Structure 1
Amino acid sequence: MKNKVILLILLFSGFVGFGQKQKDFHIAILGDKQIPETVLLLKQLKEEIKSVVGQSANIVFKDSFILLNDLNLDKAKNNYEKMLEAKDVDLILSFGSVNNFVIAKNKTFPKPVILFGVINADFITFPEGQKASNTPNLTYILTSQSYKRDLLQFKKIYPYQKIGIVLDEYLTEIYPVENTLNKIFKEIDAEYVLIPINQVSDLDGKLESLDAVYLSGGIFFTKDEQISLVKKLNEKKRPTFTSIGKHFADCGILLTSQPINNLDQFFRRIALYIEAAVNGDNLSQLPIYMDIEAKLSLNIETAFQINFPLKYSFLLQTNIVGNANQLASQKRYTLPDVMHQVLEQNLSLKAEQKNIELAAQEVKLSKSEYLPNLSASASGTHIDPDLAEASNGSNPEYSTSGNIKLEQIIFSEQASANIKIQKELEKATKETYNSNEKNAILDAGIAYYSALIAKANFLISDENLRVTRKNYEIAQQRYDAGQTGKSDVLRWKSELARATQSIVNGYTSLNQSFNELNQILNNPIGLRIDVFNTEENEVGQTKKDHKKFFNLVDDPFLREKFTLFIEELAIENAHELKALQYNISATKRLETLYQRSKFLPTVGLQGQYNHTFSRDGKGTNYPTGFAGPPDGYYNLGVQVNLPIFQKNQRNINRQKSFIQREQLNFQKDETIVSIKKNVNDIILSILSQYSSIELSQVSTEAAKESLELMQVAYSNGAIGITSLIDSQQAYFQAQQQQANATYNFQLSILQLERIMSYFFILHSEEENQAFISRVKEKILR
């Protein structure tokens, strides 16, 4: 509200009074500088003054009595003196820091003067306890502003160590700003840097060493300049605080301390003081201070943008402004983004992928049974000389030798069966991975839609807070006008606290849902992400075909065929069933192994080559007439092994494999039943949620219209507070139901895609067209 009050100092166009029977009372207006918004505010002020003073005098505003000083002290002094000399001027209404500084220096006031504007409490020199000007023909209307109060409050919210104080340069020329700040920072454990500005570029190069900024300048900048000023601060990720204007909060200042009084109260005070002057009352005894209750506002959009560390206890005491839907994020996700990243980055899938690699190695290991086993060895020996001599050359005292040995399985039922079994198990592992992959996609989709629901609830809570604040202001206005009791104001104050707690809870849930999504996507948990719904921003034919496909479920004549087809398709594509079938094949081959192994032998080939490298010492020579064995020789052999009786273990193992096969078949049948049940449940859920979307949309629209009507009726005193609260609660409950129905419907469709093992988003348009054609051909024939 204070910004609108400040804008009153920016006067340029005037008013022409209409002739009345009452005496004319001319008012001169002195302002600092022009801003376009002043015209509308001055019109409102004029109406208020005439409404209050109209019975006592005809108020006249002449163009020639409206003067601006353009922030120049000499011009401000000349403007004031000119209005003193003007015979038609009956009262001077002065706005702005420059005018008030110049006029307040005077000792006497020949004409009634009302000084109205924001004066920093740290510069006020009135004696303690003084409540009136005590100067004839002079009064003030002051809404005090305090650097000290603001900086201490900011320090409590954000523990800055070095803060920049940004203010208009002209203020440093007329007020002892630096001396005042030096005194203030003796009580604050921090440093400050004074940054006077005349234009936005004056900030360049002065923000790097700061960790926070207190803004008390830029009031007379254009709207674009103010936006540029705040943007420059936010780009540096510096927390900001101001109390000079609500419009800076709209531009993106993080924290704004503003009075919560209605603008009408300020206008009414001015009008009453003018009425007092018209009636000849002594202005010197009128109250100079206007008690105001300040309320801190937090721009939630800026808080997200600069990663401001929000304190939940602080949120409970703060007005939340800004667009809560504009979450600052390092990465934004749609459902396709989530699906593709989970396939590439999910840690669980990476671990499962290793199972496939291990299974492939098991197949290689089983095949290696039919590869030759070749080994080589060498030895050196020394035996007792007496024994060597008695051996007649067969065991010399010293000798070195070596051999090469070859073993090769020619046929083995067990090795052949193991190869087949490991191949089946490898296929089962691949299908298990495919199943886990699609489960991971579904889990990511659930986390994605959970985040969307949390975001929707957060935004609904944000809107609820704003509506509650509006209703609180209505109740405050009615109370100030004497149209209702204090109980309504207190009740709305309680509702405001409850709505603020709700947005705190919503913010917590939103961050928790983002943490879960980050975990699934293998992102750093602290990564700031955002999600948005592709269903609300459809592009391409794929999504449209997707909707056409699932619209078949809404046709009662096609629903049964559609359900049967989906059951067949889900069973056909089920990776769980395929994995079970491969395991069944493996156990069946194991059963055959134990049946055949009693008839089929294991056949192997063996060969060995031995060579003596050296013979020395006693016992080296053979007796006369004996040639001795050659230094090198080989042998070959074929081995056939047929186990006749192995402790009955073959029959026992065969029975075990038979039982395992039966068990797997039972699991397969149970899986088929479960798939059919899930298909029917999901289709019923889709039907229910689809109707809920339609009904909740109608309910939300009706509840919103009802709330708007109730607000008008409450403002006019036609209904009580309970009816308005009930209407507001009904509206936001309807919004939550609509959001939940919408996202749960989309989630159910995703779950049905999982059951079918066919995700539309992960396939090309041609594949989806072929799939849809297959469906239509099946159920429409």
Structure 2
Amino acid sequence: MKNKIILLILLFSSIASLGQQQKDYHIAILGDKQIPETILLLKQLKEEIKSVVGQSANIVFKDSFVLLNDLNLEKAKNNYQNMLESKDVDLILSFGSVNNFVIAKNKTFPKPVILFGAINDDFITFPEGQVTSNTPNLTYILTPQSYKRDLLQFKEIFPYQKIGIVLDKYLTDIYPVKNTLDEVFKDIDSDYILIPINQVSDLDGQLESLDAIYLSGGIFFTKNEQIALVQKFNDKKLPTFTSIDKYFSDCGILLTSQPVNNLDQFFRRIALNIEAAVNGDNLSHLPIYLDIDSKLSLNIETAFQINFPLKYSFLLQTNIVGNAKRLSSQKRYSLPDVMHQVLEQNLNLKAEQKNIELSAEEVKLSKSEYLPNLSASASGTHIDPDLAEVSNGSNPEYSTSGNIKLEQVIFSEQASANIKIQKELEKATKESYNSSEKNAILDAGIAYYSALIAKANFLINDENLRVTRKNYEIAQQKYDAGQTGKSDVLRWKSELARATQSIVNGYTSLNQSFNELNQILNNPIGLKIDVFNTEENELGRTKREHWKFFNLLDDPFLREKFTHFVEELAIENAHELKALQYNISATKRLETLYQRSKFLPTVGFQGQYNHTFTRDGKGSTYPIGFSGAPDGYYNLGVQVTLPIFQKNQRNINRQKSFIQREQLNFQKDEAIVSIKKNVNDMILSILSQYSSIELSQVSTEAAKESLELMQVSYSNGAIGITSLIDSQQAYFQAQQQQANATYNFQLSILQLERIMSYFFILHSEEENQAFINRVKEKIVR
């Protein structure tokens, strides 16, 4: 594990020594390669060293004493030798794997040397229990970085089977990396591939068979090269782990192991070691290990991008980084997108559509009663020869015959009534479908706004986590400086755990809301989706023009007229009422059927043609002088049927249909009352939430400003921890209230649109404007 402090090995600028009365103490700095970003860190280190050692000596840094080897072993040897030979150099501070490899091979050290922990634990061969260098004039500052520790931790998080170990090629030239990894993987049930790189293109063709990446190289790449390096892994959807530099987390590495301690701890340790050397202490007696606690960071953006299977228990122990607003998705939805897709893809609507098709077939079936029924049949018979012989030719022993029969209903009150009834029921089915369609749109809208609320809460919890972590770091710094007690640190640690749990809960709710939306939209449940609100401007305020229509509610003189208008409109457009009315018409026609069927007969026509094809055997000929029946003949007839008494069933059925019609009328009246109630309830809800939006926005802005002031006051020791926690909680509660108020207001408007059976989003601007004008003409006059 390397922190940014390790980048000190790579930089260096000129530092002019300040003239002081103490003796001058010259420090040489040996690095591997310069990275400009670490110049500020070197400045901080210089200030820390002078602050600690300033009473004992005048620390001098010269440009000529800052030497880089550019990852070249020979140059590293020469740089070290030159500093040993220089009479002006009093101490050598060495950074980097190449320098430390070269210097550590020496058996004696003429000048004090401090090697800062760029050597991996797996390559160190100190005897067990040794905590000092035991070498005169030499000490190390080693942080507990280990391939084995990292790979075992990664394996616990993600059970990889074949992992790629990506590291800088120069390391494989100077350290026994392959042998070390072979030993490490004796305790890990997985395979690995070693991938040394000098440039990003060295990865080409080497990632295909892998399911994970451990990155231990690329620290000297440019920022663009580092981003390109990580992008190659993420494009392959490979989980990644590193402990060399937390910047890689910003580049998109999934997991980064870093120390939780701040830089002051590293700087102070280096400064204390230099102070010991200045005071003549033997460096061989100084502790070589720097005990630090590591903390995993998870890039939430990358986790979404590569579909990483997150363990919730793991999230509780992880520092979540990355911009939660930029979570990757396969498809993003606005409210119009949701509405249009639900009309096209919703399975319930598709099932309801089949009811319309079935009712259309029922109408066709009822009409078919007036279509002719034509049938044909053929037969062959054999009768007893003795009987055939005495039949005088009327029943031959063998015969074949056929007939064609035609039946046609000319008039039937029942058939006519059924046609009318089925047509009414078809209309009722269509209205039921229209109602289901609008309900599906509303359900999709509810799921959409639920997802927006879940997303807003997730982002709020994410911000809360970051603020809590910042306050925790402030408390830790104050404790390290002796400005506050341990209780503040423990309290913020508890708050940090609570904030992490909240973001885990928010993450769960967000995914559940996405699953619900996927189900309604007939998407695969696992589809990665996102929602965004096109109806908000940059300030989060609504911008839908037709909402001006609902602003009429704010006028108490127009509100009552507006409410009555919406009631009338909702009743006029209600598909449920229309469906009930069609059902009422059907029962009324059924009632008429049972009343009229006593007087109206059923009239039918019937015709039949019979033909004998063959006559053989005994009895197949007629007696002499008798012509017999013709081979073919027909008959025609008209049938009139008038039922006189049918067990009193007509009267009973008529009474049943009357009761059914009364029942439907009661349901219709109840539906009207329910519509009026829903209109009034929704209007009251809109009024309440409209005011909540403005108030919550003012509250959020005030709470944010208060939190910022409290943080400054807490840092300066002007207030206690309780005041800061209360301020932080007030701010994030205000944010949640504002998000809930905004989206619930939008949802209430959508629900009112459903009651009116008129969704503005599904109509053109011209239609909407005409609708609004109609409302204004109705209520303003």
TM class by shorter chain equals: over 0.9
1:439 equivalent in structure 2:
439
**1:86 maps onto 2:86 in alignment:** yes
One-letter code of the match for 1:261? N
Alpha-carbon contact 1:26-1:59 (below 8 Å) kept: yes
- Deviation digits for residues 72-98 of structure 1 (CA, Å, limit 9, x no counterpart): 111112222222233322222222111
What's the CA shift for 1:422?
A: 0.5
**1:339 maps onto 2:335 in alignment:** no
One-letter code of the match for 1:531? V
Q: For residues 102 and 761 of structure 2, what CA distance do their matches in structure 1 show? A: 71
One-letter code of the match for 1:34? Q
2:489 equivalent in structure 1:
489
What's the CA shift for 1:673?
A: 0.8
1:265 equivalent in structure 2:
265
2:137 equivalent in structure 1:
137
2:576 equivalent in structure 1:
576
Alpha-carbon contact 2:300-2:323 (below 8 Å) kept: yes
2:351 equivalent in structure 1:
351
SS at match of 2:9: coil
What's the CA shift for 1:623?
A: 4.5
2:241 equivalent in structure 1:
241
Unpaired stretches in structure 1, ≥5 consecutive residues: none
Spell out the pairing of 1:571-720 with structure 2 (5 A cutoff): 571-720=571-720
Q: For residues 205 and 49 of structure 2, what CA distance do their matches in structure 1 show? A: 47
Q: For residues 96 and 589 of structure 1, what CA distance do their matches in structure 2 show? A: 95
What's the CA shift for 1:543?
A: 6.8
Q: For residues 117 and 21 of structure 1, what CA distance do their matches in structure 2 show? A: 33
Alpha-carbon contact 2:255-2:296 (below 8 Å) kept: yes
Alpha-carbon contact 1:11-1:30 (below 8 Å) kept: no
Spell out the pairing of 1:421-440 with structure 2 (5 A cutoff): 421-440=421-440
Alpha-carbon contact 2:245-2:258 (below 8 Å) kept: yes
2:181 equivalent in structure 1:
181
What's the CA shift for 1:459?
A: 1.8
Alpha-carbon contact 1:545-1:769 (below 8 Å) kept: no
2:562 equivalent in structure 1:
562
2:295 equivalent in structure 1:
295
SS at match of 1:536: coil
Number of residue pairs aligned between Structure 1 and Structure 2:
778
Alpha-carbon contact 1:118-1:144 (below 8 Å) kept: no
Deviates more, 1:341-350 or 1:625-634: 625-634
- Deviation digits for residues 623-654 of structure 1 (CA, Å, limit 9, x no counterpart): 45443332222222222212222222222211
Q: For residues 465 and 96 of structure 1, what CA distance do their matches in structure 2 show? A: 35
The alpha-carbon distance between structure 1 residues 416 and 64, as it changes in their structure 2 partners (threshold 3 A), is same
SS at match of 2:535: helix
**1:468 maps onto 2:475 in alignment:** no
Q: For residues 136 and 398 of structure 2, what CA distance do their matches in structure 1 show? A: 135
One-letter code of the match for 1:47? E
Q: For residues 79 and 183 of structure 1, what CA distance do their matches in structure 2 show? A: 34
The alpha-carbon distance between structure 1 residues 607 and 266, as it changes in their structure 2 partners (threshold 3 A), is same
Q: For residues 282 and 38 of structure 2, what CA distance do their matches in structure 1 show? A: 30
SS at match of 2:21: coil
- Deviation digits for residues 169-197 of structure 1 (CA, Å, limit 9, x no counterpart): 11112211111111111121112211111
SS at match of 1:127: coil
What's the CA shift for 1:545?
A: 3.0
SS at match of 2:291: coil
2:281 equivalent in structure 1:
281
Q: For residues 401 and 151 of structure 2, what CA distance do their matches in structure 1 show? A: 95
Q: For residues 207 and 56 of structure 1, what CA distance do their matches in structure 2 show? A: 55
What's the CA shift for 1:586?
A: 0.6
One-letter code of the match for 1:41? L
Deviates more, 1:418-427 or 1:143-152: 143-152
Alpha-carbon contact 1:11-1:67 (below 8 Å) kept: no
What's the CA shift for 1:132?
A: 2.2
2:418 equivalent in structure 1:
418
Task: Give percent identity, aligned residues only.
Answer: 90
What's the CA shift for 1:42?
A: 1.4
What's the CA shift for 1:555?
A: 2.9
SS at match of 1:100: helix
Alpha-carbon contact 2:536-2:543 (below 8 Å) kept: no
Spell out the pairing of 1:721-740 with structure 2 (5 A cutoff): 721-740=721-740
Deviates more, 1:468-477 or 1:551-560: 551-560
One-letter code of the match for 1:256? T
Unpaired stretches in structure 2, ≥5 consecutive residues: none
- Deviation digits for residues 517-562 of structure 1 (CA, Å, limit 9, x no counterpart): 1211122222222222222369xxx973332223333333322222
SS at match of 1:186: helix
Spell out the pairing of 1:62-141 with structure 2 (5 A cutoff): 62-141=62-141
What's the CA shift for 1:138?
A: 2.4
1:147 equivalent in structure 2:
147
Deviates more, 1:77-86 or 1:63-72: 77-86
Alpha-carbon contact 1:396-1:615 (below 8 Å) kept: yes
Q: For residues 210 and 381 of structure 1, what CA distance do their matches in structure 2 show? A: 82
Q: CA RMSD in A?
A: 1.9
One-letter code of the match for 1:572? E
One-letter code of the match for 1:108? T
**1:536 maps onto 2:521 in alignment:** no
The alpha-carbon distance between structure 1 residues 195 and 386, as it changes in their structure 2 partners (threshold 3 A), is closer
One-letter code of the match for 2:510? L
Deviates more, 1:665-674 or 1:331-340: 331-340
What's the CA shift for 1:2?
A: 4.1
Alpha-carbon contact 1:304-1:328 (below 8 Å) kept: yes
2:15 equivalent in structure 1:
15
SS at match of 1:106: coil
Deviates more, 1:233-242 or 1:639-648: 639-648
Q: For residues 418 and 264 of structure 1, what CA distance do their matches in structure 2 show? A: 90
**1:361 maps onto 2:361 in alignment:** yes
One-letter code of the match for 1:244? I
Q: For residues 621 and 148 of structure 1, what CA distance do their matches in structure 2 show? A: 111
The alpha-carbon distance between structure 1 residues 123 and 623, as it changes in their structure 2 partners (threshold 3 A), is closer
**1:308 maps onto 2:303 in alignment:** no
SS at match of 1:410: strand
SS at match of 1:600: coil
- Deviation digits for residues 371-425 of structure 1 (CA, Å, limit 9, x no counterpart): 1111122223333344334333333333322221111111111111111110000
Deviates more, 1:48-57 or 1:383-392: 383-392
Normalized against structure 1, the TM-score is what?
0.96
Alpha-carbon contact 2:2-2:145 (below 8 Å) kept: no
- Deviation digits for residues 407-461 of structure 1 (CA, Å, limit 9, x no counterpart): 1111111111111110000000010011111111111111111122222222222
One-letter code of the match for 2:735? Q
Alpha-carbon contact 2:400-2:612 (below 8 Å) kept: yes
Alpha-carbon contact 1:5-1:117 (below 8 Å) kept: no
What's the CA shift for 1:252?
A: 0.9
One-letter code of the match for 1:603? V
1:377 equivalent in structure 2:
377
The alpha-carbon distance between structure 1 residues 609 and 221, as it changes in their structure 2 partners (threshold 3 A), is same
Alpha-carbon contact 2:454-2:509 (below 8 Å) kept: yes
What's the CA shift for 1:206?
A: 0.9
The alpha-carbon distance between structure 1 residues 51 and 415, as it changes in their structure 2 partners (threshold 3 A), is same
Q: For residues 64 and 518 of structure 1, what CA distance do their matches in structure 2 show? A: 65
Alpha-carbon contact 2:3-2:259 (below 8 Å) kept: no
